[in-house]
Amino acid sequence: MSESEQQSIPPDGLAYAALGHFLQFTTWFLGPLVLYLVKRESRFVAFHAMQALLWQAIYIAVLVFSFALFFVGLFASFPEAGESGPQPTGPPTAFLFFPLIWLF
């Protein structure tokens, strides 16, 4: 960072920027959103708060896609209703691996 860029950062700007990134772990998207709305006049803090909000949006998109993929796999593992032959006695495979999927 050049000297002119360091001078444009407010004295408490680094702390607020770090706080914005920390708050995304503890308050999800609400902390960075409040920080963005309160400290909008500081471009440095607003940039980092917006960056934390973007990471949360990406996380939500990945989470929704993962749950959709999980449920498609879950319903695909059920046997067909008109299928003849021996029926499985245990639960579908997706139920057995659910704790591992949940941890992921």
What residue spans define the domains of the chain? 3-77+90-103
pLDDT beyond 80 at 89: no
The answer to whether the beta carbons of residues 20 and 45 sit under 8 Å apart is yes
Tell me what pLDDT residue 18 has: 95
Q: What distances in angstroms separate CA 60 from CA 22, 23, 25, one per listed residue?
A: 17, 16, 13
pLDDT beyond 70 at 86: no
Residue that the structure tokens 């309160």 belong to: 38
Alpha-carbon distance of 71 to 88, in angstroms, equals 19
14-69: pLDDT as tens digits: 999 999 999 999 999 999 999 999 999 999 999 999 999 999 999 999 999 988 88
User: pTM value?
Assistant: 0.69
Alpha-carbon distance of 4 to 2, in angstroms, equals 6
pLDDT beyond 90 at 87: no
- Work out the pLDDT band at 79, boundaries 50, 70, 90: low
Residue that the structure tokens 């909000």 belong to: 53
The answer to whether the beta carbons of residues 44 and 17 sit under 8 Å apart is yes
Q: How many CA atoms lie within 13 A of 1 on its CB side?
A: 8
Q: Is 7 or 8 the better-scoring residue by pLDDT? A: 8
Q: For residue 49, which of 13, 20, 11 has the smallest C-alpha distance?
A: 20
